[in-house]
Amino acid sequence: MHPFDQALELEPSGDDRWRGRTIPEWANMVGPFGGITAATLVRAVELHPQRHGQPIALTVNYLAPIVDGEFDILTRCVKTNRSNQHWIVELSQDGEAKTTATAVFGLRRQGWSETEITPPAAPAPEDIVPSVPPFGVVWFDNYDMRFVDGAMPDTAGEPTESASSTTTLWVRNKPSRAMDFAALASVSDIFYPRVFLRHGQFVPAGTVSITVYFHADEEQLAAQGDDFVLGTARAHRYSGGYFDQSAQLFGRSGVLLATSHQFVYFKA
Amino acid sequence: MHPFDQALELEPSGDDRWRGRTIPEWANMVGPFGGITAATLVRAVELHPQRHGQPIALTVNYLAPIVDGEFDILTRCVKTNRSNQHWIVELSQDGEAKTTATAVFGLRRQGWSETEITPPAAPAPEDIVPSVPPFGVVWFDNYDMRFVDGAMPDTAGEPTESASSTTTLWVRNKPSRAMDFAALASVSDIFYPRVFLRHGQFVPAGTVSITVYFHADEEQLAAQGDDFVLGTARAHRYSGGYFDQSAQLFGRSGVLLATSHQFVYFKA
């Protein structure tokens, strides 16, 4: 089984309840990669018999590190409307809350559509050498990342500060895997903390809250298949020990699949 | 009492519970203005005896219209860490859920700070004629809005489409009132749906989820006082009956007070 799907394996454990477990392949510095946790919460709602439609919007809050082992997810449907549905989701371990989320699911309707932004200029992913992460974070191996701009700082020499916080990269699951809403949630969190890029070095940092808006419908995800996604992210302000970063994820044809935003704690 | 503070009047009604009521001054087309609801949820957490620090990040989901009358708010503290705290908040009427939210509160720490964006060019608010809203939405009267760009479409003649979705305006409470976190949450939702601007006319539209990142600390809010805020907002993509819009709110000195993002349902 693909490591992405393996991480999302959940068994029902009572009304509105699901049981899952961390797998070593997705380990981050502390606990699992935040993107895989977000994807797991999406999957939990997708599995629920009352689920109505597809993911529209998701906010995930990281309360405390998930430790290696089993976890419980509570998916509570708060309201079902004709065209959409609202969920509150909580992930806990031994009764201690670790992650909370709200999710909007819904039906998409045909109608006027337009995209106001264009993807950043980038050579084809085939023309870029795959990145070798500069330090041993296990989950990186689950993605083929090809940086166009703003690669992870090289910590071998003196820190090289950057005036820009922008990272642009091609990315896809490794081994490749068809895109779906859960995978899109995960890749929305692919961008390492922008403060690393600005400072040219690693500092303590961790996402406190991430929001994903799913622009693509099922047809557009099917067209995406297992191809690379072009992602770009930047920050706006660092202050009081927090900064924001906003990201856009495009298909190779230029279709905007998702936008995401996060607020990150840091110490520098 | 100022109409903003009047709308935020809450009485405790049991452990973690608060009772409030709509007031006619904040009426929108259907139910109250979403910004005043967001502000009320911030206030409910602020009133809670366990509250630790100030607002850091807020996501509010609009499930169903709030009807005129009383409402109940449940503020549940899910986790308190050393430097931050996570809340789940639910607003209901007669036991029916109307709004859900997650909020991160926390302490801010001194450290490296920088802003990567600059406010849009704009004449001083004193040099712009206050806007007269083109239709009778009551809550508009609680804000002094002075549009720099992308004013509300004039529905008197033929619709004039716009290639841009950007609105930039100076805005402050009317009557003026000192800025605080609740007021900042409310003004983050000041931007009418971008699809109105693109189409040059009103179409059915409503926010499903809004996220606010509070960049300012208490000192910066105190410096803001009751002065105008310069806000700018734009969309990225309209598809499947939803679009996103992102906003930035600056003080007159150029300080970035907040960024916000929302996903909006529309029919066009």
Per-residue pLDDT tens over the stretch A132-147:
876 678 999 999 999 9
- Per cent of chain B over pLDDT 90 is 94
Phi, psi of B120 (to 5 degrees): -65, 150
Between CA B100 and CA B242 the distance in angstroms is: 19
Shortest alpha-carbon distance between residue B190 and chain A (Å): 19
Residue B82: which of B59, B109, B110, B101 has the closest Cα? B109
Q: What is the mean pLDDT of residues A232-249?
A: 98
Write the Ramachandran bin of B225: left for phi over 0, alpha for psi from -120 to 50, otherwise beta: left
- pLDDT at B134 > cutoff 80: no
pLDDT value of residue B135: 67
Whether A116 is covered by a domain: the verdict is no
Residue B164 in domain: yes
CB nearest B97 (choices: A79, A199, A268): A79
CATH of the domain at B31: 2.40.160.210
A113 within some domain: no
Which distant-in-sequence residues (6+ apart) come within 8 Å of A227 by Cβ?
Answer: A172, A179, A251, A252
Please answer yes or no on whether A209 and B237 come within 8 Å at the CB atom.
no
Place A155 in a pLDDT band, splitting at 50, 70 and 90: confident
pLDDT tens-place string over residues A182-239: 999 999 999 999 999 999 999 999 999 999 999 999 999 999 999 999 999 999 999 9
Q: Which domain holds residue A83?
A: 3-108+122-266
> Whole-number mean pLDDT of chain B?
96
Confidence class for position A246, pLDDT limits 50, 70, 90: very high
State yes or no: pLDDT of B82 exceeds 80.
Answer: yes
Contacts of B267 in chain A (CB under 8 A): 109, 111
d(CA A156, CA A159): 8
Please compute the mean of the pLDDT values over residues A242-250 and round it to a whole number.
Answer: 98
Residue A117 counted as domain residue:
no
Residue A123 CA to residue B65 CA, distance in Å, equals: 48
**Cβ-defined contact of B100 to A112 (cutoff 8 Å):** no
When divided into structural domains, chain B yields a total of 1
Please answer yes or no on whether A236 and B115 come within 8 Å at the CB atom: yes
Residue A115 has pLDDT above 80, yes or no: yes
Residue B115: inside a domain, yes or no?
Answer: no
Contacts of B211 in chain A (CB under 8 A): 59, 209, 211, 261
Tell whether A252 is covered by a domain: yes
Does a structural domain hold residue B254?
yes
pLDDT, tens digit (0-9, with 9 covering 90-100), for B183-224: 999 999 999 999 999 999 999 999 999 999 999 999 999 999
pLDDT of A136: 73
ipTM over cut 0.90: yes
In a domain, A172, yes or no: yes
Q: Which residues, including other chains, have CB under 8 Å from residue A228's CB and lie 6 or more apart?
A: A125, A144, A146, A170, A171, A172, A252
